[in-house]
Amino acid sequence: MLRVNLTGVFLCCQVAARQMVKQGGGRIITTASINGFRGVENLVGYNVAKAGVIEMTKTMAVELAQHHITVNAIAPAQIDTRLTRSLPEDARRRRTERIPMGRFGEPEDVARAALFLASDDASYVTGHTLAVDGGYLAGGLWSRKPEGTGRG
């Protein structure tokens, strides 16, 4: 798990950074996960790897800024993919209940985040992890409740 999800990312970033230093700058965007921010049982290897990617992104951002290279990460939550569509309906429902926006994200949501971080609009953004999560991290263990059951 660590070899692919952390060491592999590190090695790819090293190769990209060397080329970007030669060319005078660039953008490195790593892929983390919301699991890098919070523990999820039975996924210790994955969670540790993604937390490592988040911290590696920060460190590389500091080290490479002098070369006009920005380094940021994207941390998706539940994204509607072939893998997540194969989950049992009950598991999908439980996961959706924890997302304040009430739905899984689309692959295009992640792609648009990457496009932003790669663009000139993000030229002063470095060392950050952009959660593409429908509010999942902000909501904690928030659960959608039927209308009329909450206060406020």
Half-sphere exposure of 65 (CA within 13 A, CB side): 13
Residues in a beta bridge with 70: 27
Q: What is residue 102's DSSP assignment?
A: S
Q: How many domains does the chain have?
A: 1
Domain contains 23: yes
Average pLDDT over residues 114-127: 98
Do 54 and 36 contact (CB within 8 A), yes or no? yes
How far is C-alpha 146 from the geometric centre of its chain's CA atoms? 29
Only one residue has tokens 């926006």, namely 101
Examine the residue annotation and report whether 46 is marked as an active-site residue of this protein.
Answer: yes
Domain contains 17: yes
Domain contains 76: yes
Domain contains 99: yes
Q: What CATH code is carried by the domain that includes residue 61?
A: 3.40.50.720
CB-based contacts of 124, cutoff 8 Å, min separation 6: none
Catalytic member of 9, 13, 17, 46: 46
pLDDT digits (tens, 9 = 90+) for 37-89: 988 888 999 999 999 999 999 999 999 999 999 999 999 999 999 999 999 99
